[in-house]
Chains A and B, each alone.
Chain A
Amino acid sequence: MRIAKKIRILITGLLILMFSSCARQAPTEKDGRLCLTAIFADGSGVIAVNEQLGYAPVAYSRVTLESRLYNADPHTFARYVAKTDSLGRAVFRDIPAADYIISLVKDTTYVNPENGATSQVTLKGHAVAHVYSEKVQLDTIKTSLSLHSDVVINEVYYCGPVNRAYYFYDQFVELYNASDSTRYLDGMILCRNRAYHNPAMDSLDYIQVIYVYQFPGEPRTGRTYPIEPHQFVVVAQDAADHSAYIDNALDLSGADWEFYNPYGGDLDNPDVPNVVNAIPGNSTDFMINLVHDAVILADGTGYYYGEVSSHGYQYIHVPVNTVLDAVEYSANSEKQKEITTRLDAGFAGVGIAKYSGKSTERRSAGFDTDNSSLDFINLDTPTPGWQHK
């Protein structure tokens, strides 16, 4: 009896163990069969509102859906392409569950109703799509006029190297020519935005900056300082080997250009050409904030002196229609915007702490949706003069 009881106890124990970790139910929904529908409507006024629909559909336009997870090749995310129909609706079928960036780019002709003048404009609309159910609908994505330039700000390094000496003088801005044609830096200006959230900024035709540093040469027409197709140009705060002072700092002695302020006793590497401060009242070097700021690239025409602050600081106004590219970065994605969303709808550099040695760079060279939240990724190590892999 004792043995039989032992056997029963053991078998019961084994059965309890067995059934206590029974198999899980297989998921009922299969991946790779999800459907995303997006409706694009124009918010710029270029496309007339359809009275029946009540909005301006961006019809028969190419829409790209780029995965934020899966790759088509080691350096490119998987992409899907569709066309909008007459309702401005694009449908993507049989896609995997993931986050996506959906983008529409439409080149069209705008006819000015006042004077009949025509101009070629580009409409762009973007959104992030979280596709985690069988059918996802994005209603509605507004398009706006695109700020178009072949030369873009490709990388910004601003937070300084890892150090306890408050050293951050190895900052740089990297430009990139995304086109197949030579462009010219003559007269272009690099600006630092005023650190201020202006509630009216989306309706102003200018932006307020506090630094204006200018490439030599004649704006728009000069042909002395080329930037070749797909070339990177590094503009350093100081073109020096900063690792001689701080171990983790960058060696920028080989930079292509150097910010130079002749009014402030700035370091000047004689072997590196200068991008010179254009505002005599400013005596500081091109030093940008270590956690939140905006850098603007403009064609160098039409900027003018604006108001003076209560502390006697001179603001400069740069016309929005002369801006070639703008990048606003912030460690905190919840911060208020300091530059109009017409130029940059998001933030680069979210999560980069000061003195962390990190930089922020476009996902791929020249990738530009005018939304730095989508366009930029953080790098543990800056890549001045080349694109991360």
Chain B
Amino acid sequence: MSTINLAVNGQSVSGEVEPRTLLVEFLREQLRLTGTHVGCDTSQCGACVVMVDGKSVKSCTMLAVMADGCDVTTIEGLADGADLHPMQQAFMDNHGLQCGFCTPGMVMSGLDIVNRHGNDLDAATVRRELNGNICRCTGYQNIVKAIRAGAKAMGD
């Protein structure tokens, strides 16, 4: 077992993990932060996307020990109490989810797109940048709408 120390959603945490423990397993099973989902085992679906040191990462494709010393943000770290993050609010307002399974990853990837491309996003950019996130309800129209609206709201 290895001891890891990291920040998760602004709080210092430490844990005992096996080397083979994935970051997503550590988040879900030890920290009980079950908002981060696992939708595939091929690193393709993006339901597990979290921010590690400010960059989007598929937490099913990173070992927990690799995140030792890092700053991790999950979907649980976005809202301010009862106030949703503007990107979350935009998903709600635009009906950017159907079953909701892919939503945590979509929201995190949406934030990553804003970080790299700014607040004024065209649909083509959002679609291209979302190619690592799969929605099996195929609700992409409203997901793209939500991310564009969320990006704009973050700039206001």
A and B form one complex: no
| B interface, CB within 8 angstroms of A | none
| A interface, CB within 8 angstroms of B | none
